[in-house]
Structure 1
Amino acid sequence: MFETLIRGATVVNADGPDRRDVGITDGKIAAVIPPGERAEAKTVLDASGSLLLPGLVDAHAHLREPGLTHKEDFSSGTHAAALGGVTTVLDMPTDEPWTASAGQLADKMAMADGRIHVDVGLQAVISRDLSLIPGLLDLAPVSFELFTADVPEDFLFPTFDAVAGALRSFAGADTLIGISPGDQSMLTSSIERNLGGTIAAFLDSRPPQAEAGGIRRAVLAAARTGTRIHVRQINSELGVEAWSRLRDRADTSVETTPQNLFFSADDYETQGARLKGSPPLRSRQDVEALRAALGAGLIDIVATDHAPHAPAEKAASYAAFADIPGGMPGLQTLLQTMLKLVDDGLITLPDVVRLCARNPAERFGLGRRKGRIAAGYDADMLIVDPRQSSSISNAEQVSRAAYTPFDGWTVKARLTSVFLRGHEIVRNQKLVGPAQGKIVTRES
């Protein structure tokens, strides 16, 4: 006998949709059976006419704890994630302090205990002190993050030799290195050239050429060292071209974000600080190139780069556009923005699962328990009703950022229930029950 049986839904995995009933026991998917097959369960849920998707895995988010909790914290950020159908959040290490040592990673794990509404995997940063890596590996973070530009000196690896040297420290380790592509020399020289503080100066400081060069450096360094890497959010035509040419030379994957698939630099004129982030938004031509790459299957993962700031920080007056705190919320709107891409005909529902569930789970060491609706996997699932529409509004956002750049958008589907390890945690856009999330670590 199952604890719970979900009947009548169309199960959507990355390999396609199929009518199936799903039995759940002890937090796991116990069986996926033909529709209507005889089965007993303590609780039977009728999901007829609805879609059943795996819970989403956001591979790039900033929950801001410790040290920056006026912007977001574990509780508020994972609340937003739950409402957005994200049942696993992979949290970046750029808090205060940055998560650079085993002690800092252990402290962060302890802070999250009992306070997270969805599962959270933690990512560690690579500092210049490479002796810290073995201790971090013992705690099995889902990834390590390496930065090539625009970060404090202790975490900066600005050259090919520096990147390759850091990657060699992971020889024989079963892990993943996330690399944010950039070029510190271009950033420094453009700042020296452009003192006006305008939007144009900000764009000039982080040009597509820097992204393309950073991608080339990352992939070639991975090829030289035999390291598994993940290239963080690309958003330019030049970046896509560099990635397309080099991606098969090493064990690589790449991500982009919803905002980069919809907004261009022209939108700074209307949304300004709310859209300011890094990398900067590009031209409409770059957006179209990125959308074409997504439709062609060249992008492996879509993640949010959820990076909220307090409303007062975004609303303050700054001497230069570059000084505005960079980042925007995205966890609560990930599923809806992906469904909007389905509405646009750019991708399909199985693509949503591939980009936002299966691929990030597999790439970040969670592929034997997350990202699929299959026997033995965690019963993290979403019930989506395609017969209803849903809207996105600032008023409904629970992140401490208190807004979304997608305010006013409508999507031709509605998320009605979210399950985490078999327990319904969201019903009709409201949390159900106490925080039940756990810290998840990389599978050995």
Structure 2
Amino acid sequence: MFDLILRGAKLVDANGERCADLAIIDQKIAALLAPGTPAETRATRDVRGLVILPGLVDTHVHLCDPGYTHKEDFDSGTRAAALGGVTTLLDMPTDLPITTHASDLREKMTLAGGRIHVDVGFQVAKLRDHPSIDDVRALDPVSFELFMAGVPEAYRHDTQEALMNSLKALRPLNTLACISPGDHSLQSAPQTDTGRAGLNALLASRPPVFEAAGIANAVLAAAATGARVHLRQGNSKLGVDTWRRLRDLADVSIETTPQALLLTEDVYDERRNFFKALPPFRPEGDRVALLAAVREGLIDMLVTDHAPHAHAEKAAHYDDFRDVPSGMPGVQTFLATLLHLVERGEITLRDIAKLCAHNPAQRFGLGATKGLLAPGYDADLLLLDPERSTTLRNEDQRSKARYTPFDGMHVSWSLAAVYLRGALKGETTPANGRVVTASA
């Protein structure tokens, strides 16, 4: 006997679209039945007219817990994620302390217990000289994070030798190495100025060649070592062009964000501090090139880089533009921004299922249970209503940031329901998320 059958919806995942009744047993999808097939079940829900997508898998999220919990924490961040259609997220290691050693990862896992509303995996920052990789790997994090610029020296892989040494150390562990690409030698400090000059200095400190050089060096290091590598946040035409030419050299993948596909540097003329993030937004030509790369199949996944800060931190006056905290919230608006791209004809619903569920789950070792609407997979489901619209508003945000860069965006879809492993999510639903780990 099934626990629940959802009848009458159109199902869309990376494999295509079909009409089927979806049956659930013990938190898993048990069967896809021909519409109207008689079956014994404890409960039935009529979902005719709705579309079911697999829950989104966001592999680039900063939950800020521990150490920066005035910005976000496990409870607030994962509540926001569930409201945005994200049923699995992977937490970045840039907290306080930076998640580096086995003791840091154990503490994080313990802190998350009973406080997460979606499934969460953890990522570990790789030191240039890491004394305890085996101990950390024994806890099965979903990836190791390597940074090429913009971090403390002990974590900075700013030479090809340092990058290759770390990749050589990770390769025997059969783990994914995620690299934030950049070229430290090109990075200049923004001048002390909060006006347009300060903004121009920020843009000059992270030019497209900064990203492109990092992509090139990372791909070459992956090719030389045989390591599995994922590149963070491509957002420039030069970066995409470099990626196109080199990607076949190694086992590599790359991500970008909805904000890079929707926003340009013109937004800095509105609320400059609130749009400050790294990498910075680019001119229109870069945005168009990124969209073309998505349609071409060059981009492997879309992520949010959810990096919230308290509203007061963003709104404060800073004498030095460098001191404005970098990052924006994104998990609660993830699905809505993707659907906005669908409305504009830039991507399809199947693209969402592929780029934001199937591909990230596969790449990060979760593909046996996440990312598809198929028997044996977790019943992580999004029910979309094409007849009801949504308007994004600051006052509706559950992140501690309490704002969205997409305030006022109108989307002619709504998220009617979210299921996490077969359980219907809601504002008062208990924290029933669990920690997920990569499969070896």
With the shorter chain as reference, the TM-score category is over 0.9
Aligned to 2:227: 227
Aligned to 2:355: 355
Residue 435 of structure 1: which of 421, 431, 435 is its match? Answer: 431
Cα RMSD after superposing both structures: 1.0
Following superposition, the deviation at residue 284 of structure 1 comes to 1.0
Aligned to 1:130: 130
Aligned to 1:105: 105
Task: Confirm whether residue 50 of structure 1 aligns to residue 50 of structure 2.
Answer: yes
Quick check: 2:11–2:17 contact (8 Å CA) kept in 1?
Answer: yes
Quick check: 1:124–1:141 contact (8 Å CA) kept in 2?
Answer: yes
2:68 corresponds to which letter in structure 1?
L
Q: Distance in 1 between matches of 2:91 and 2:150?
A: 19
Q: Distance in 1 between matches of 2:189 and 2:414?
A: 45
Following superposition, the deviation at residue 40 of structure 1 comes to 1.6
Aligned to 1:141: 141
Aligned to 1:300: 300
What do the CA deviations read for 1:157-180 (whole angstroms, capped 9, x no partner)?
101111011100013222111100
Segment drifting more, 163-172 vs 361-370: 163-172
Quick check: 2:128–2:162 contact (8 Å CA) kept in 1?
Answer: no
Following superposition, the deviation at residue 319 of structure 1 comes to 1.6
1:385 corresponds to which letter in structure 2?
D
Quick check: 1:227–1:251 contact (8 Å CA) kept in 2?
Answer: yes
Following superposition, the deviation at residue 320 of structure 1 comes to 2.4
Q: Percent identity?
A: 53
1:153 corresponds to which letter in structure 2?
E
Aligned to 1:206: 206
What do the CA deviations read for 1:335-358 (whole angstroms, capped 9, x no partner)?
000001100101110000101000
Q: Distance in 2 between matches of 1:35 and 1:272?
A: 51
Task: Confirm whether residue 245 of structure 1 aligns to residue 245 of structure 2.
Answer: yes
Following superposition, the deviation at residue 272 of structure 1 comes to 0.8
Q: Distance in 2 between matches of 1:69 and 1:115?
A: 13
2:180 corresponds to which letter in structure 1?
S
**3-state secondary structure, aligned to 2:44:** strand
Following superposition, the deviation at residue 379 of structure 1 comes to 0.5
Aligned to 1:90: 90
Quick check: 2:192–2:321 contact (8 Å CA) kept in 1?
Answer: no
Task: Confirm whether residue 191 of structure 1 aligns to residue 175 of structure 2.
Answer: no
Aligned to 2:40: 40
Following superposition, the deviation at residue 129 of structure 1 comes to 2.9
2:375 corresponds to which letter in structure 1?
A
**3-state secondary structure, aligned to 1:17:** strand
Q: How does 1:276-295 map to 2 (within 5 A)?
A: 276-295=276-295
Compute the TM-score of the two structures, normalised by the length of structure 1. Answer: 0.97
Q: Distance in 1 between matches of 2:34 and 2:221?
A: 48
Quick check: 2:171–2:228 contact (8 Å CA) kept in 1?
Answer: no
1:127 corresponds to which letter in structure 2?
L
Q: Distance in 2 between matches of 1:200 and 1:361?
A: 38
Task: Confirm whether residue 258 of structure 1 aligns to residue 258 of structure 2.
Answer: yes
1:327 corresponds to which letter in structure 2?
G
Task: Confirm whether residue 323 of structure 1 aligns to residue 323 of structure 2.
Answer: yes
What do the CA deviations read for 1:192-214 (whole angstroms, capped 9, x no partner)?
8x455610000000100010000
Segment drifting more, 285-294 vs 222-231: 285-294
Q: Where do 5+ consecutive residues of structure 2 fail to align?
A: none
Following superposition, the deviation at residue 131 of structure 1 comes to 2.3
Aligned to 2:383: 383
What do the CA deviations read for 1:273-304 (whole angstroms, capped 9, x no partner)?
11101011111111111111112211111000
Following superposition, the deviation at residue 62 of structure 1 comes to 0.2
Q: Distance in 2 between matches of 1:397 and 1:159?
A: 41
What do the CA deviations read for 1:286-332 (whole angstroms, capped 9, x no partner)?
11111111122111110000000011110111122222100000000
Q: Distance in 2 between matches of 1:358 and 1:432?
A: 29
Aligned to 1:5: 5
Following superposition, the deviation at residue 266 of structure 1 comes to 1.4
Q: Distance in 2 between matches of 1:159 and 1:280?
A: 23
What do the CA deviations read for 1:200-244 (whole angstroms, capped 9, x no partner)?
000000100010000000000000000000000010000000010
Following superposition, the deviation at residue 432 of structure 1 comes to 4.2
Aligned to 2:167: 167
Quick check: 1:199–1:322 contact (8 Å CA) kept in 2?
Answer: no
Q: Distance in 2 between matches of 1:113 and 1:91?
A: 14
Runs of 4+ in 1 over 4 A off after TM superposition: 194-197
1:226 corresponds to which letter in structure 2?
G
**3-state secondary structure, aligned to 2:272:** helix
Quick check: 2:4–2:43 contact (8 Å CA) kept in 1?
Answer: yes
| Equivalent residues, number | 437
2:434 corresponds to which letter in structure 1?
K
Task: Confirm whether residue 398 of structure 1 aligns to residue 398 of structure 2.
Answer: yes
Q: Distance in 2 between matches of 1:413 and 1:230?
A: 32
2:8 corresponds to which letter in structure 1?
G
2:169 corresponds to which letter in structure 1?
S
**3-state secondary structure, aligned to 1:63:** coil
**3-state secondary structure, aligned to 2:64:** coil
1:330 corresponds to which letter in structure 2?
G
